[in-house]
Amino acid sequence: MKILVGYKRVVDYNVRIQVQPDSSGVVTDGVKLAPNPFDEIALEEALRLREQGLANEVIVAAIGPANMQSHLRNGLAMGADRAIHVSTEQAVQPLTVARILLKLVAQEQPGLVILGKQAIDDDSSQTGQMLAALWDRPQATFASQLSIADGKATVVREVDAGLETLEVDLPAVITTDLRLNEPRFIKLPNIMKAKSKPIDTIELSSLGVESGDHLQAIRYHPPQARQKGVMVKDVAELVEALKAKGLL
């Protein structure tokens, strides 16, 4: 079984993002970029399935600009067998990403697709569900546990009410939650090895994907900042303050 993993490059989660003074976007020039944390978890899960003998090939796929080679090398150094880079200089919205991934699915015929539950830049949480719909296959989102046997996946999902377990027939789309696993660190020798692994670059325009970029961002703005409050010296003062506000 092949596993296809979404491997998006995003602004590192430690970066405090700023809105451009002219409201045209957020400042991304010179900020640290990193793999989407949920996609590292997706890749880790795929690698573990391969190590258990349940998969024989792990492919990472990223859609984005030409300068993503080193990002993809990261995924290869972590352990993916090969990478597919769908190259485009334009930002693509989730429906378009899902349509692109569907093309890759048709080409690669994976038994499992693992994506992040959300990308931490746009926080859309849509792509996996959209891909599953277009592919007409099951989805199991927000996974915190995954086991595979007899052509089926059993997935524990983190839902608002608690933990839900689903059983889905393969092929299927799984999206990862934070507690699925802890991604491994990349070892130095593997960085060397990754240099000889293949990256297949495909121009987005050559895939014949109908754009699903229907939404238009018209303005970006900073959120209303909370005012820094006051420090109280002890419990008695805190209780007084809350009583004065009618909260106790």
Partner 1 sequence: MSKILIIAEHLNGHLNPATGKCVSCATAIGGEIHVLVLGNAPDAPAAEAAKLAGVTKIISVARSENEHALAAVFAPQIVALAAGYSHLLTPSSTFGKDLLPRVAALLGVAQISDIMAVDGPYTFQRPIYAGNALVTIEAPPEQTVLGTVRTASWPGAASGSSAASIESASPEITLPSHTRFINLQQGKSDRPDLQSAAKVVSGGRALGSAENFKLIYQFADALGAGVGASRAAVDAGYVPNEMQVGQTGKIIAPELYIAIGISGAIQHLTGIKDAGTIVAINKDPEAPIFEVADFGLVGDLFKIVPELTAAVC
Ligand X SMILES: Cc1cc2nc3c(=O)[nH]c(=O)nc-3n(C[C@H](O)[C@H](O)[C@H](O)COP(=O)(O)OP(=O)(O)OC[C@H]3O[C@@H](n4cnc5c(N)ncnc54)[C@H](O)[C@@H]3O)c2cc1C
Check binding of 63 to ligand X (CB under 6 A): yes
- Distance in angstroms (rounded) separating the CA atoms of residues 68 and 35: 11
Peptide bond into 110 cis (omega under 30): no
Instruction: Identify what 66 binds: ligand X, partner 1, none; CB under 5 to 8 Å per kind.
Output: none
Residue 89 is classified by DSSP as: S
Three-class SS of residue 174?
strand
Check binding of 36 to ligand X (CB under 6 A): yes
Check binding of 8 to ligand X (CB under 6 A): yes
Check binding of 94 to ligand X (CB under 6 A): yes
- Distance in angstroms (rounded) separating the CA atoms of residues 50 and 58: 7
Q: Applying CB under 6 A, what is the total number of residues that bind ligand X?
A: 34
Give the chain's end-to-end CA distance (angstroms, integer): 59
The first and second tokens of residue 24, run together, are: 């045209």
Phi/psi zone of residue 225: left (φ > 0), alpha (ψ -120 to 50 degrees), beta? beta
In the complex, least distance from residue 189 CB atom to ligand X, rounded to whole angstroms: 27
Q: Judged by CB under 6 A, which of 15, 31, 87, 93 binds ligand X?
A: 93
Check binding of 61 to ligand X (CB under 6 A): yes
Residue 13 or 133: the one with the smaller Cβ distance to ligand X is: 13
Instruction: Identify what 177 binds: partner 1, ligand X, none; CB under 5 to 8 Å per kind.
Output: partner 1
Closest to 74 measured CA to CA, from 12, 13, 7: 7
Residue 203 or 213: the one with the smaller Cβ distance to partner 1 is: 213
Closest to 137 measured CA to CA, from 111, 163, 176, 108: 111
From 7-15, 149-157, 159-167, 240-248, give the range in contact with ligand X by CB under 6 A.
7-15
Element (H, E) at 211: none
Q: Sign of dihedral through CA atoms 76, 80, 82, 84? A: negative
Phi/psi zone of residue 64: left (φ > 0), alpha (ψ -120 to 50 degrees), beta? left
Check binding of 92 to ligand X (CB under 6 A): yes
Under a CB-based contact definition with an 8 Å cutoff, are residues 38 and 176 in contact? yes
Check binding of 120 to ligand X (CB under 6 A): yes
In the complex, least distance from residue 204 CB atom to ligand X, rounded to whole angstroms: 10
Check binding of 142 to ligand X (CB under 6 A): no
Between 171 and 210, how does the x/- string for binding to ligand X read (CB under 6 A)? ----------------------------------------
Q: Judged by CB under 6 A, which of 161, 215, 235, 247 binds ligand X?
A: 215
By CB under 6 A, name the binding residues for ligand X: 6-8, 13, 25, 36-39, 61-64, 91-94, 97, 115-116, 118-128, 215-217
